[in-house]
Amino acid sequence: MKLVKLLIFSDIHSDAKALDRLVKTEADYYICAGDLVNWGRGLDAMGEILKQRGNRVYVIPGNHETAGQISDLCAKFGLNDLHERSIEVDGFHVTGLGYSNPTPFDTPGEYSEEQLSEKLHAFDGLRPMIAICHAPPRGTMLDRITNLRHAGSTAVREFLEREQPRYFFCGHIHEAAGAAEKLGDTSAMNVGRKGYLLDLADQNAKGLL
């Protein structure tokens, strides 16, 4: 049986060393859950690193990139745009939705909660599912900021409670990077720039939940 591994990471913010370390990790799929750069600047430099893994790389925009910028990046460097799309991997539906819920900073990639909810409904009924969003679910360990307040998305939380994907991965809230939580039947994690290697041959997902 072939071992299928997905390396999911987020919030690189132009840290070339961190991204290079990730692409040097052996995996079958490399999935960036958004914010490769800051304010959309310097994407080509990140593309030069990601192209080492070429067609095995999938990207969604964070709140620091637009969907158009990520689409152009993927076309230029031979990568795959996973925003508002799903692929099948080893019997799983892997879904991707970029952008965050509204922030105080008016960043380029933000959806209203209503938009997030509408777009997430496109993935209803896909089972088993591995869901990947830039935004974390609100009111969890995955969206806690420094003052212990929560800054995640209510739409993402509602989606997880309704659809119960097997796994959920996100980023966006830097302070919560590495946090993991069980939400019903869903094993959820804020992967951050260190990333998480999901081995689909190991249904217990070592190190997750």
Which pLDDT tens digit goes with each residue over 13-50? 999 999 999 999 999 999 999 999 999 999 999 999 99
**Global confidence as pTM:** 0.95
Higher-scoring residue by pLDDT: 118, 206: 118
- Give the per-residue pLDDT at 206: 47
Q: What is the mean pLDDT of residues 91-98?
A: 98
- Asked whether 50 and 80 are in contact (CB, 8 A), the reply is no
Mean pLDDT of 74-97: 98
Q: How far apart are CA 10 and CA 192, in angstroms?
A: 5
CA gap 14, 104 in Å, rounded: 22
pLDDT at 2: 66
Q: What is the mean pLDDT of the chain?
A: 95
The more confidently predicted of residues 202 and 73 is 73
* Phi, psi dihedral angles at 152 (to 5 degrees): -85, -170
Helix axes 67-77, 43-50, angle to 10 degrees: 40
Average pLDDT over residues 182-194: 97
Contact between 49 and 79 under an 8 Å Cβ cutoff? The reply is no
**What class has domain 5-199?**
alpha beta
Number of other residues whose CB lies within 10 A of the CB of residue 44 = 12
Which residue type occupies 124? Answer: D
Task: Output 97 or 205, whichever has higher pLDDT.
Answer: 97
CA angle 159, 160, 166 (to 5 degrees): 135
Nearest to 140 by CA among 114, 173, 111: 173
Summarize pLDDT for 149-171 with one digit per residue, the tens: 999 999 999 999 999 999 999 99
What is the model's pLDDT at position 209? 44
Predicted confidence at residue 201, as pLDDT, reads 80
In this prediction, residue 148 has a pLDDT band, given cuts at 50, 70 and 90, of confident
Q: Which residue has the tokens 């919560």?
A: 176
Closest CA to 64 of 97, 16, 30, 98: 98
Which comes out higher in pLDDT, residue 201 or 118?
A: 118
Could you tell me the residue ranges of all domains in the chain?
Answer: 5-199
State residue 177's pLDDT score. Answer: 97
